Amino acid sequence: MATVKILHQYWAYLVLLILVLATFNAVFKTITKKEYEPRDFRVSLFTLIVSHIQLLIGIVLWFAADYFSEMSMGEIMKNSIMRSNVVEHPIAMILAVVFITMGYSKHKKQLTSTGKLKKIAIFYSIALLLVCAKIPWAKLF
Ligand code: HEM
């Protein structure tokens, strides 16, 4: 449990780093109308992989914590830290990974550089906003 938690915490740095990189890269290249290159494909794929791994670690952490053995749903919802751990953080992060997955698969179907980069820019930006909104910053630093 402790190991999984540490892994989830450190893996979060990687998720943040690569997601920020992929998003800003796609936004910048969309605005400046640059060509889509193999490097762009690699960075978006790497973001997809890294975020899916974090999703799996998070799910393991969530089930391992066995929150409902000690508290009822009502008690959890009344406590802001517990509500965040059990409900808000997981839901926001699952949604973020869904947006990353949608962005990645939609960008692959596009035939033009602008089309590809635009899909990544839009969907990864939404994911980044969700991650930034619900990541427990105080525990990260
Ligand atoms: C995909 C992006 C995600 C990021 C960047 C992320 C990041 C973090 C960070 C930085 C913490 C604080 C770690 C600590 O306590 O030191 C945390 C805690 C937690 N995360 Fe995530 N997480 C993600 C996804 C998920 C998902 C999908 C779930 C569950 C389905 C989840 C479940 C949890 C739980 C239960 C905790 C609280 C652990 C505790 O304090 O007992 N996370 N997460």
Residue ranges of domains in the chain: 2-140
Q: Is 67 exposed, middle or buried (0-12, 13-18, 19+ CB in 10 A)?
A: middle
Q: Is the pLDDT of residue 70 over 90?
A: no
Please count the CA atoms within 13 angstroms of the CA of 110 that sit on its side-chain side: 17
Contact at 8 Å (CB) between 104 and 44?
A: yes
Count CB-CB contacts under 10 A for residue 105. Answer: 12
CA of 129 to the centre of ligand 1 (A): 16
Average pLDDT for 75-102: 97
Regarding predicted confidence, which is higher, 70 or 44? 44
pTM score, whole prediction: 0.95
CA of 100 to the centre of ligand 1 (A): 17
Residue nearest to atom 25 of ligand 1 (CA): 58
Percent of the chain residues past pLDDT 70, beyond the cut: 100
Q: Is the pLDDT of residue 140 over 90?
A: no
Is the CB of 59 inside a 6 Å radius of any atom of ligand 1? yes
Q: What is the pLDDT of residue 141?
A: 82
Is the CB of 97 inside a 6 Å radius of any atom of ligand 1? yes
Residue nearest to atom 32 of ligand 1 (CA): 58
Is the CB of 9 inside a 6 Å radius of any atom of ligand 1? yes
Of 96, 120, 126, the residue nearest 107 (C-alpha)? 120
